[in-house]
Amino acid sequence: MDRGTTVDAVVHRVLAALERAGQVCDTPPGSQSLEAMRQQIIAMLSDPPWYLNTSAGQVLFLKILRQIASDASDIVKNTRQDPGSCEGNIRR
């Protein structure tokens, strides 16, 4: 699997995780809108920054994306366990 395919696969998973999280809580406390975050990632992929052309840049980008996906999964889990954790921004 080449690096481009790996980045594409991770981006797809991150966007899906953000979409799932946004369905239960659009704007977690202390965070920007999850939909805004999705749109920023999509925009960045349409006009990739220079560092995505380097191996080190791709590794860092993948690490950040994986953390975003993990955080989005935590938002879903935490909001389902404690609906008040979203401070009134819950979508149903």
Residue ranges covered by each domain of the chain: 3-86
Q: Looking at the predicted structure, is the pLDDT value of residue 7 above 80?
A: no
Confidence band of 87 (pLDDT split at 50, 70, 90): low
Q: Are 42 and 65 in contact (CB under 8 A)?
A: no
Residue with tokens 């995780």: 17
Question: What is the pLDDT at residue 3?
Answer: 53
What is the C-alpha radius of gyration for the chain, rounded to an integer number of angstroms? 14
Indicate the range of 42-46, 60-64, 87-91 predicted with least confidence: 87-91
The mean pLDDT value of the chain amounts to 79
34-61 average pLDDT score: 84
Stated pTM of the model: 0.73
